[in-house]
Amino acid sequence: MAIDLTRLSQKGQVVIPNTVRKKLGLKEGMKFLVVGVGDTIVLRKLMLSEEKTRLKQLLEESRRKAEKLGFTAKEIEGLIYQTRKVS
């Protein structure tokens, strides 16, 4: 187990101490799931496969909701195109 102290910056950033990063193999750019319960904060590193699985779930949910609202596949493609064009 790796334990150390850190603090929260004005920007809401938390530095994970080097000893913990090395022990857990954490690298710059890694993504984490953040869970807050009571006075406890849990960071869980996400693996690429988990991100893809969650993205697929979100896409399936979105498609079902769009179909339920009566959107056609062509309308959805048009909305996606417009959204990407603006971003």
Q: How far apart are the first and last CA of the chain?
A: 43
pTM: predicted TM-score of the whole model, two decimal places: 0.49
pLDDT tens digits for range 14-61: 999 999 999 988 999 888 888 888 888 888 888 777 667 877 888 788
* 74 HSE (CA, 13 A, CB side): 0
CB 14 within 8 A of CB 8: yes
Helix (H) or strand (E) holding 9: none
Identify the band that residue 76 occupies on the pLDDT scale cut at 50, 70 and 90: confident
Q: DSSP letters along 37-57, please?
A: ETTEEEEEEPPHHHHHHHHHH
